[in-house]
Structure 1
Amino acid sequence: MNSTVDELKVAEDKVDHLLGEEYEHAPVPMAARRSAFSVTMVWVGFPMIITGAMTGSILVLGMGFSRALIAMIIGNLIMLAYVGLLGHLGVKSGMNFGLIASQVFGRKGYVLASGLLSSLLLGWYAVQTGITGALISSTYNLNYVAMTVIAGLLYIGITFVGVRGLHYIGMISAPLFVILGVWVAGHAASTTTWSAIYNYAGNNGVATMSMGVGLTVVIALFIDAGTVTADFNRWAKTPAASFGATFSAFPFANIVAMMVGGVMTAALATPNANPFGADNMFGYMNKMQLGWLSVLAFLFLYINLGSVCSHCLYNASTGWSRITGTHMRLMAVVLGVIGIAIAAGNVWAFFIQWLSLLGIVAPPIGAIIIVDKYITRPEVNTATADWRAPAFIAWAVGSVVAFIVEEVMPGLSTAISAMVVAGIAYWALAALKVRKLQTA
């Protein structure tokens, strides 16, 4: 048994030497940090995806174009602040999310926060892999399971390369999306007027989604990956490079993706459009019935969703490797196989429910870390306890309030409610502790 473990460790060390160390258990040293361009490519290739365009379509169908545009802008500015602050912690310390979370939630307590987010990100990997298989299967009449397995294996390969793999897939995926996305949006817009697009009122002329729900959809789309942003931003050399990379994702890349879907949906005004079926940019390209464009669309789908899947699997693998004391690449293979099995079971169909769950449980984690590291305990750089009760109490309060908001006040944003309430609760608990110490 020991010899097998030793052999596995030797093999992992050889792979790390060949592909580069991923620093799962220690801060990234400055000598290993990557260029501002590289970190930007990692981030810009993440949100600029067809799923973002689908989300833009959902927003426009539910809110109408003008109100959806407002939700996109406000939601992405909130994400810029949220991810920017958390990313700064990564570049300042060189630590990944798990290492930073251990200072806030405790040496043992961080496992709950990191394990939850890593599992949710594994779910995202499965969702996006399933969407790849479903769209390829329905469009080209190919076997769904086979296409899903092929996609999943390709995405595992990208993740296995490490942060370099995310850099390279971003360099290919983002420009390709811009070219094809702008063409699709422009071609669809040419069938009507920009005035008609802007004044599009929603599906069948009816807006059914509130601004609060719209904001939650925008925020929840990347709130989990945004919370573990230190996994990416720890590779930046300077705070400016970290912020620039974050800005390339939120608002730039995310709004570009959402606008492609939103403009296309408003321009075509298809009754009861199904963005997860054929009513998306992938389906639009195939409807042109041009052989070369269909081939390009096929390749584009695998490359584009390969970007988001590899990012999600990287985050999940980094988190679980820290928890289990193993290597990121080993966990990428193990978790990737699990994700493929889940995707083959059609889990992507629960996309909206998934966003709802993320809007409740994920935002409090990042809000608590921000308050802790910037306001209440900025001087603390190590884990001081196994479990830190204030962090878990604030997390529970924020999530419970968000659940109540979703059930009782559906017009408000669960994501923003969870974030704000958890942050205030954590700050209040810290202030109460200080007051007790002063009066003791």
Structure 2
Amino acid sequence: MSSTVEPMMVGTDPADPGRPIDPDYPVTPVPLSARKPFFSLAVVLLGFTIFTPTMLAGAALGTAFSFWNLMMVIAAGSAILGAYVAMMGYVGARTGLTTVVMARYSFGTRGSKLASVLLGGTQIGWYGVIIGTIGDLTAQALGWESYAARASVMIAASILMCITACYGYRGMYWVSLVSTPLILALACWVVFRSLDEVGGFSGLVSVQPETTMTIALAITTVVGTFVSAGTQAPNWTRFARTGSQAVWACMIGFLVGNGLMILFGAIGAITFHEGDFVLILYNLGLVGWGLVLLFGNLWKSNADTAYAFGVAGAELFRKPRKTPFVIGGCVIGTVLALTGVHNHLVDYLSLLGTFIPPLGGVIIGDFLCRWRRGIPEDHAPRPVHWRHLAVYAIAAFLAWLSGEFEVGIPPLIGIVVAIGLTMGLHRVFATPTTTSREIATPIA
């Protein structure tokens, strides 16, 4: 690679041009020499999606459907989510760029700030929600009633997650490698206990729904669990050595991993009337294992979240280092948790799940039209790409309208409309261009 994404974004130390300022390349393409093997990438993405709060979505589904209908809903929703994230992941591997940096080419250098604010701001909010949850559940488990005890847990947990995120890809890989197998083992054990509660698999299948939910809403719930975070999959898949590796890693994480967490939550709700396995372990008297599951799971997931708003901050303020923004975002998220705001953020942050996927749809559509052979190294993004901003606005509005009238699957509508309009308008307004040398070696 002979140049950076933009002339001013030189990702090397001026004193030693051969040494990168940030080994995670937050604002420049990841060179092929820094790409990771498939196993490493799959571990990180699986660790990202093995997220216990996802079980609460499964709990809502578990009481509304018979077992086989539940499996159909989970399979359909996970397939949609997996396919979308796999497309985003492929684009990340092909370009070597994060989602927010790719947005420069689709929305312009100034227009991309919309992506940085939406993605980075949402992740800071979720970071605060998780920090607050850790403090509350730890206090509940240990019988602590004082605010100081909860606050101490929040601060200590936030410091641990912040340090992990500052280590970047390497830190998240090792945390995921250690914690994910343990969490899956505990989850499988709880599933076996759940089957004992209802008389085995035949008893589970025979349980009748207690509530009602439309198929469309149920699939929307599955897709919505991780569609916002999945839009940022390129933050990790840009380290893939090939596009196909990125696709398979995304499918393992978002189709298998996320689908399993929804299924586990549904089974917990059916058998113990509680979707969160942490609380099930508490109720079974296994407080210690419950805390292990809580910290192990949320540590790696929130470290990924901190990493995401770190690279978004680096793009927003056009800086080559992510660490200051990781630290700053962690401080803001922790303050939100300490003030109790996290108890009121979830609905608002969930609403943003409707408005974020169309961003990914525009990037995918733009990639398919213009950047399939790589971003030409002499290409300078325009300040604002008004046509793509208009596409995003239309797609986001239609997705929101879909949710308001409960017609269709809002995230899917936003993605499909954004891809379709972007490609359609490109055909209308396309002008002949000369092919330039790619920004990186082509990736299969």
TM-score by length of structure 1 reads: 0.86
Deviation at 1:158, TM superposition (A): 1.0
Q: Does 1:404 align with 2:397?
A: no
- 1:431 — aligned with what? 427
Contact 1:122 1:313 in 2 (8 A): yes
Answering whether residue 278 of structure 2 is matched by residue 282 of structure 1, we say yes
- The 1-side partners of 2:55 and 2:150 are apart by 22
- Residue 204 of structure 2 is matched in structure 1 by 197
State yes or no: 1:310 paired with 2:316: no
Partner of 1:127: 129
Cα drift, residue 359 of structure 1: 3.3
**Is residue 360–residue 399 contact of structure 1 (8 Å, CA) maintained in 2?**
yes
- The one-letter amino acid of 2:318's match is G
Identify the residue that residue 293 of structure 2 maps to in structure 1: 300
Distance 1:132 1:411, change over 3 A: farther
Equivalent residues in 2 for 1:323-342, closer than 5 Å? 323-326=316-319, 327-342=321-336
Structure 1 SS opposite 2:48: coil
Offset from partner CA, 1:385-409 (integer Å, 9 cap, x none): 111112111111111112222222x
How far has the Cα of 1:263 moved from its partner? 1.1
Superposition deviation, residue 308 in structure 1: 0.8
Distance 1:294 1:370 in 2: 45
Closer, same or farther: CA 20–111 of 1 in aligned 2, 3 Å? closer
Q: What is the identity percentage for the equivalent residue pairs of Structure 1 and Structure 2? A: 23
Q: Which residue of 2 aligns with 1:221?
A: 225
Superposed, 1:52-201 pairs within 5 Å as 52-63=54-65, 65-142=67-144, 143-193=149-199, 194-201=201-208
CA contact (8 A) 2:44 2:173 kept: yes
1:238 match: 242
Of 241, 247, 266, the match for 1:262: 266
Preserved CA contact (<8 Å) 2:95 2:374: no
Match of 2:384 in 1: 387
Deviates more, 1:296-305 or 1:141-150: 141-150
How many residue pairs get matched? Answer: 412
Contact 1:53 1:261 in 2 (8 A): yes
1:45 alignment partner, SS class: helix
Q: In 2, distance between residues paired with 1:13 and 1:287?
A: 58
Q: Is 2:314 the partner of 1:321?
A: yes
Other-structure match for 1:361:
355
Q: Which residue of 2 aligns with 1:420?
A: 416
The 1-side partners of 2:69 and 2:96 are apart by 39
How far off is 1:33 after superposition? 1.4
Name the amino acid aligned to 1:23: Y
3-state SS of paired residue (1:406): helix
Q: Distance in 2 between matches of 1:419 and 1:354?
A: 20
Aligned 8 A contact 1:88 1:239 in 2? yes
Contact 1:68-1:214 at 8 Å conserved across structures = no
Displacement, 1:325? 2.7
Deviation at 1:25, TM superposition (A): 2.0
Distance 1:51 1:383, change over 3 A: farther
Structure 1 residues 10, 356: closer, same or farther in 2, change over 3 A? closer
Structure 1, residues 69-114: CA drift from partner, whole Å, max 9, x if none? Answer: 3222111111221111111111112112222111111121111112
TM-score when scaled to structure 2? 0.86
Distance in structure 2 (CA, Å) of the matches to 1:171 and 1:76:
23
Distance 2:21 2:94 in 1: 24
Distance 1:13 1:222 in 2: 41
Q: What do you get for the CA RMSD once the two structures are aligned?
A: 2.8
CA contact (8 A) 1:211 1:411 kept: no
Residues 285-313 of structure 1, C-alpha deviation per residue, up to 9 Å, x if partnerless? 12222xxx422321221121011100111
Cα offsets for 1:109-145 (capped at 9, x unmatched): 1111122111111212112222212211222223332
After superposition, the C-alpha distances for 1:162-209 in whole angstroms (9 at most, x for unaligned) are: 11111011112210111000000110111113234234444xx221x2
Structure 1 pair 64/103, CA: closer, same or farther in 2 (3 Å)? same
Shift of 1:383: 4.2
- Cα pair 1:63 1:210 within 8 Å, conserved: no
Q: Which residue does 2:442 correspond to in 1?
A: none
Q: Distance in 1 between matches of 2:329 and 2:15?
A: 20
Unpaired runs of at least 5, structure 2: 1-10, 432-444
**Residues 313 and 12 of structure 1: is their aligned pair in 2 closer, same or farther, counting only changes over 3 Å?**
farther
Inter-partner Cα distance in structure 2 for 1:225 and 1:114: 13
1:20-71 CA distance string (max 9 Å, x none) = 6111221111111122221111101011121122221122234454433322
2:367 maps to a residue whose letter is K
One-letter amino acid matched to 1:342: L
1:344 aligns with 2:338: yes
1:254 deviation in Å? 0.9
Tell me the distance in 2 between the aligned counterparts of 1:200 and 1:352.
Answer: 30
Q: CA separation of 1:183/1:380 partners in 2, compared to 1, >3 Å: closer, same or farther?
A: closer
Q: Distance in 1 between matches of 2:393 and 2:207?
A: 40
CA displacement 1:351-388 (0-9 Å, x = unmatched): 75246413320111111111111136646724431111
